[in-house]
Amino acid sequence: MPAFAYQGIDEHGQKVSGTVTATSRAGAVDRIRALGRQATEIIESSEESAVIADSKSRPSISAVELANLMRELATAIEAGLPLMQGLVTVRRQAANVRQEVVLDFLIERVESGRPLHEACKEYGGPFDDMVVGMIRAADASGKMHEVLHQLSDLLERSVEVRRELVGATIYPLIVMVIMAISVVIFVTVLLPKLMVPLQAQDVPLPWPTQVLLALADFVGAWWWLMIAGAVGGFFGWRAWTSVPANRRRVDGILLRIPLLGTLLRDIAVARFTRTLGTLCAAGIPILTSLGIVRDTLGNTVMMDAIDEVRERVTTGGSLATPLERCGHFPPLLVQIVNIGERSGRLEGMLLHAASAFDRQVNNSLKIFSKALPPAMLVVMACVAAFVLAAILLPLLEMQQAVAGGR
Residue 364 lies in a domain: yes
Residue-wise DSSP of 326-379: HS-S-HHHHHHHHHHHHHT-HHHHHHHHHHHHHHHHHHHHHHHHHHHHHHHHHH
Q: Is 367 inside a domain boundary?
A: yes
Q: Is residue 10's pLDDT more than 50?
A: yes
The answer on pLDDT for 387 being more than 50 is yes
- 70 touches 151 (CB < 8 A): yes
Neighbours of 215 (CB within 10 A): 15
Q: Provide the residue count of the chain.
A: 406
Nearest to 277 by CA among 335, 372, 369, 350: 350
CA distance 188 to 181: 11
Say which range, 35-39, 259-263, 312-316, 338-342, has the weakest mean pLDDT. Answer: 35-39
Helices (H), 186-259: 191-200, 207-241, 244-256
Phi, psi of 9, deg, nearest 5: -130, 150
Q: Provide the residue type at 42 as one letter.
A: I
**DSSP secondary structure of 47-83:** HHHHHHHHHTT-----HHHHHHHHHHHHHHHHTT--H
Q: pLDDT tens digits for 197-218?
A: 777 777 677 888 888 888 888 8
**Does some domain include residue 48?**
yes
Helix axes 191-200, 207-241, angle to 10 degrees: 150
Q: Helical H runs in 79-143? A: 83-92, 97-111, 116-123, 129-141
Whole-angstrom Cα distance, residue 179 to residue 183? 6
Domain containing 12 equals: 3-55
Q: Work out the average pLDDT over 297-322.
A: 86
DSSP 295-331: TTS--HHHHHHHHHHHHHHHTT--SHHHHHHHS-S-H
Is the pLDDT at 17 greater than 90, yes or no? Answer: no
Q: What is the mean pLDDT of the chain?
A: 83
Tell me, yes or no, whether 152 lies in a domain: no
CA distances from 37 to 50, 72, 107, 158 (A): 19, 24, 13, 36
Lowest mean pLDDT among 54-63, 129-138, 325-334: 54-63
Query: Nearest Cα to 66, choosing from 132, 143, 111?
Result: 132
Amino acid at 293: V
User: If you average pLDDT over residues 267-281, what whole number do you get?
Assistant: 87
Eight-class DSSP state of 276:
H
Q: What's the domain count of the chain?
A: 2
Instruction: Give the CATH number, domain containing residue 385.
Output: 1.20.81.30
Q: Taking a C-beta distance cutoff of 8 angstroms, is the pair 297, 272 a contact?
A: yes
DSSP 204: P
Q: How far apart are CA 58 and CA 21, in angstroms?
A: 17
Residue 229 inside a domain? The answer is yes
State how beta strands 38-45 and 15-21 pair: unpaired
- Percent of the chain scoring above 70 in pLDDT: 91
CA distances from 274 to 26, 49, 253, 293, 297 (A): 48, 39, 25, 9, 11
Q: Are 153 and 296 in contact (CB under 8 A)?
A: no
Residue 335: which pLDDT band, with cuts at 50, 70 and 90? very high
**Cα–Cα distance for residue pair 324/316, rounded to 1 Å:** 16
Give domain status of residue 167, yes or no. no
Whether 30 is covered by a domain: the verdict is: yes
Query: Three-state DSSP class for 35?
Result: coil
What is the pTM assigned to this prediction? 0.70
**What are 122-163's pLDDT values in tens digits?**
888 888 888 888 888 888 777 888 889 988 988 888 888 888
The crossing angle, in degrees rounded to 10, of helices 116-123 and 129-141 is 170
How many of the other CB atoms lie within 10 Å of CB of 401? 14
Residue 178 pLDDT grade (very low, low, confident, very high; cuts 50, 70, 90): confident
Residue 248 lies in a domain: yes
